[in-house]
Amino acid sequence: MLKVEHITKYYGKNLAVDDLSFTVKSGEIFGLLGSNGAGKTTTFRMIMGLLDSNQGTILLDGKKIDYSVTDQIGFVTEERSLMTKMTVKEQIIYYGRLKGLTEEEIQKKLDIWLEKFKITEYKDRKIKELSKGNQQKVQFIAAVINNPKLLILDEPFTGLDPINVEQLKQAIYELQKKGCSIIFSSHQMEHIEQFCEKLLILVKGKTVLEGYLKDIKENYQKKNIKIRGDINKDEILTIPGVISINKKVDDYEVKIENSKVVEKVFQKISHHNITKFVVEEASLNEIFIAKVGESYDE
């Protein structure tokens, strides 16, 4: 389990992370979100022991972060940190040895991962000869070769096609099942919605929203209604509590202030020819934009 308690980080006078606390249990996928410059990378660097915090503590399974613990942390980022002149095998052996594995153990695990990612044929090829997506897979293998207790994934799907995204997702779920604590960071909210039960949103180093995705969505008052049929847009816009109405492909999407407005919209259109009327919770994307926007306005 990872426990981040009241960490604060200044770069000179610039406060990059402000009294941040969160916990990621074993087998949990935790979403760490934030706008550009919010403090995510700084937080990851502190968790990995690459940067000292000014205040606060970070514990992995009860132990403060030091060299013995950082071996247990895997990190995947969109910036590739591979040595491009090495072959895939040489690269993974290099990282595996750094993490204290024997060459024999590494070779065994490497073969399993290459098979899983369907890139066995690239084992003896130089990294620079691999496509971007396959380099990303190699980076992932390097990060997880020693079954880390904590895995940090920072935009892990950048540059991957949908089939490779799916393979990587399955690999992440497997690690989750084995009890790995996972921190997932992405600007693509649909990935967060799919993966993370719990999340935290940072703005300028401060936590503006934290909790279970399910609760966050339930507590967010604004909802969307999807309507298909022959309706009068202007008529709907006159209903108090209706924020906007837009046509999206075949459906109209009506944004409303809260669930009390549903009934009023339904009454207004019930005499029209309607084939669909579905009330949905706001997407995480909408909630993120609203929360981050509010914080910038303060």
How many other CB atoms sit within 10 Å of the CB of residue 138? 24
Q: For the CB of residue 38, give the shortest distance to ligand ATP in the complex, in Å.
A: 4
* Residue 36 DSSP SS3: coil
Distance between CA 5 and CA 58 in Å, rounded?
Answer: 6
**Choice between 73 and 106, CB closer to ligand ATP:** 73
Q: For the CB of residue 187, give the shortest distance to ligand ATP in the complex, in Å.
A: 7
Name which of 103, 105, 40 is nearest 75 in CA terms.
40
Partners of residue 203 on adjacent β-strands: 206
Half-sphere exposure of 125 (CA within 13 A, CB side): 13
Half-sphere exposure of 8 (CA within 13 A, CB side): 10
How many other CB atoms sit within 10 Å of the CB of residue 203? 22
* Residue 177 DSSP SS3: helix
Contacting positions for ligand ATP (CB under 6 A): 11, 14, 16, 34, 36-42
Q: For the CB of residue 32, give the shortest distance to ligand ATP in the complex, in Å.
A: 9
CB 252, CB 246: distance < 8 Å: yes
The one-letter code for the residue type at 53 is S
Distance between CA 77 and CA 294 in Å, rounded?
Answer: 29
Q: For the CB of residue 52, give the shortest distance to ligand ATP in the complex, in Å.
A: 13
Q: For the CB of residue 36, give the shortest distance to ligand ATP in the complex, in Å.
A: 3
Q: For the CB of residue 206, give the shortest distance to ligand ATP in the complex, in Å.
A: 11
Transcribe 126-159 into DSSP letters. BGGGS-HHHHHHHHHHHHHTT--SEEEEESTTTT
Token pair, residue 159, equals 């540059």
Name which of 286, 183, 170, 273 is nearest 229 in CA terms.
273
How many other CB atoms sit within 10 Å of the CB of residue 117? 21
Q: For the CB of residue 207, give the shortest distance to ligand ATP in the complex, in Å.
A: 13
Q: For the CB of residue 167, give the shortest distance to ligand ATP in the complex, in Å.
A: 25
